[in-house]
Amino acid sequence: MSSVSVAAVDLGATSGRVMVGRVGPDTLELSQAGRFPNGPLATPDGLHWNVQQLYAHVVEGLRSAAATETIASIGIDSWAVDYALLRGDRVLGEPFHYRDDRTAHGVELVHADEPFSLLYARNGLQFLPFNTLYQLAVEREVGMLDVANRMLLIPDLIAWYLTGATVAESTNASTTGLLDVTTKEWDGELIDRLRLPRSLFPRLVQPGQTIGTILPHVATGTGLAGTTPVVAVGSHDTASAVVATPMMEPGGAYISCGTWGLVGVETETPVLTTAAREANFTNEGGVDGRTRFLHNVMGLWLLNETVAAWSREDGAPVDLVSLLKAATDVTGEIAVFDANDPRFSPPGDMSPRIAAYCEEHGMQAPQTRAEIARSIVESLASAFADAVRTAASLSGQDVRRIHMVGGGSQGELLCQRTADLSGLPVVAGPVEATAIGNVLVQARALGAVGGTLESMRDLVARAFSPRTYTPRTAAPKG
């Protein structure tokens, strides 16, 4: 086996990137071919994603990648649940952002027909008001589904732009709420009961399968060979991140920390107990048929939105490194708020919402920017530690260490406080777990690396030495 170079398109809610991975049996290197901002775009009809612009950045990134080396394939991952509607080959408007508040009405529409407990038994998903099925209920009500005849999730839409092929990659399809959690096929009966047209949902593909080869104009525009395939990866970003989480032995939980903190364990089969449902734990589809049993905790969103607001206020970017240093030096009582409170979900400055939360709960609100940042980090670490404990007890796994991957793994204070509050060592890194998981699944499909997820994780651990944070205080009781 020799090494190959592949391109990973990794779209996050606040930024996207095109990475080049060089992968072989003993090689795993990553370099950046393009990075660009992303975020909600407010228009009179709600919050949207500007996917045309994202696609333009993707093409640009692929062109830079092709300029330096021969790219053997392309893989695409992004955040979950959001989609474009198409009629034939016409895209019907810009996709909605999952934080658009029309989803509240979608929840009412769906739950009027199907109680959550029944949905959970079928799809195994935690309740999140933006799950695709709630969004589609609104589309149905406003008549969009009388026109549309295809739905493409965001990575599948980008794959269609590149190849013209319409598919639904299965890990991401598992976040729609319309996949049967056991068979991992579209749940036709549920789709009928929700009065959605079955024809909306494309053929499912598994990570590692080829979606198609790039279209001639894409080859011309990027300089890639006309035969370059787009290979399905764990196209849900969290699925790719879990692939590259170096859980080498049993007993590892993970926190994939970017915009969100996805906290959980990997299981062989879904956990569909009443306790799991009541704790709002999800069973998302993982690569190689594994289950990602996890809970969505708010993540760096809280800090990023607040820092963005302060930067607007100052007319200059706030320096995150100095802010976090000042936050680390804060002493005394710090308010810990419920990071999962829905008031923190819409975009914007979190400080007034944190102050209101503290007032309602009889706590002294953080005052200075350093105190606010510290309060956010403490609240995230506390929510992470709680979610790890719950994941362990619901899954029956004996969790002995926590792997923190993604952007949050760079935050020393966050990692240390998560270790302190959980009483468990936190093994931090890699930062680019999502892109690494993306390139590894492509490399395996091309035959450049072998076999199991475990052997790929072994390669990750060798290539990106993680840093371990040891808990400084005894684990809290209970």
103-113 and 132-141 helices cross at what angle (nearest 10)? 90
Interface with ligand LFR, residue 79, by CB under 6 A: yes
Give the 3-state secondary structure of residue 197: coil
Query: For ligand LFR, how many residues bind (rule: CB under 6 A)?
Result: 13
Question: Residue 407: helix, strand or coil by DSSP?
Answer: helix
Among 123, 163, 228, 259, binds ligand LFR (CB under 6 A): 259
Q: Which is nearer to ligand LFR, 40 or 366 (CB)?
A: 40
Nearest to ligand LFR of 240, 442 (CB atom): 240
Q: What is the amino acid identity at position 58?
A: V
* 172 vs 379 by CB, closer to ligand LFR: 172
Give yes or no: 77 in active site.
no
Q: Binding to ligand LFR by residue 262, rule CB under 6 A?
A: yes
Task: Give 257 or 376: the residue with its C-beta nearer to ligand LFR.
Answer: 257
**Which three-class secondary structure state does DSSP give residue 164?**
coil
Q: Smallest distance from the beta carbon of 98 to ligand LFR, in angstroms?
A: 5
Query: If DSSP codes are grouped into helix, strand and coil, which group holds residue 175?
Result: coil
CB of 234 to ligand LFR, least distance (A): 11
Nearer to ligand LFR, 34 or 234 (CB): 234
Provide the 8-state DSSP code for 5: E
Count of CA atoms in the C-beta half-sphere (13 A) of 218: 24
Spatial contact of 458 and 249, defined as CB atoms under 8 Å apart: no
Q: Based on the shown chain and the rule CB under 6 A, indicate whether residue 435 belongs to the binding site for ligand LFR.
A: no
Is residue 339 near ligand LFR by the rule CB under 6 A? no
Among 81, 109, 157, 428, binds ligand LFR (CB under 6 A): 81
Nearer CB in complex with ligand LFR: 260/357? 260
Rounded Cα distance between 13 and 189, Å, is 32
If one asks whether residue 296 binds ligand LFR (CB under 6 A), the answer comes out as: yes
DSSP per-residue codes, 350-386: -HHHHHHHHHHTT-PPP-SHHHHHHHHHHHHHHHHHH
Q: Which stretch binds ligand LFR (CB under 6 A): 231-239, 263-271, 309-317, 383-391?
A: 231-239
What does the block give as tokens for 397? Answer: 């796994």
Structural tokens at position 250: 């049993």
| 260 touches ligand LFR by CB under 6 A | yes
Catalytic residue among 237, 288, 329, 398: 237
Cα 219 to Cα 4, 32, 71, 118, 163: the distances in Å are 19, 20, 12, 47, 10
Q: Is 391 in the site for ligand LFR (CB under 6 A)?
A: no
Provide the minimum distance between the beta carbon of 284 and ligand LFR in the complex, in angstroms, as a whole number.
Answer: 7
134 is a site residue for ligand LFR (CB under 6 A): no
Asked if residue 244 binds ligand LFR (CB under 6 A), the reply is no
Residue 339 carries which side chain, given as an amino acid letter?
A: A
110, 137 in Cβ contact below 8 A? yes
| String marking each residue 27-66 x if it binds ligand LFR according to CB under 6 A | ----------------------------------------
Supply 72's token pair: 């053997």
Q: Which among 327, 330, 353 has a CA at the least distance from the CA of 342?
A: 353
Strand 426-428 and strand 467-469: the pairing is: antiparallel
Whose Cβ is closer to ligand LFR: residue 150's or residue 236's?
236
- Taking CB under 6 A as the rule, does residue 291 contact ligand LFR? no
Report DSSP letters for 63-92, one per residue. HHHHHHS----EEEEE-SS-EEEEETTEE-
Q: Does 98 bind ligand LFR (CB under 6 A)?
A: yes
Interface pick for ligand LFR out of 75, 95, 252, 258 (rule CB under 6 A): 258
Positions annotated as catalytic residues are 237
* Contact set with ligand LFR (CB under 6 A): 13, 79-81, 98, 236-238, 258-260, 262, 296
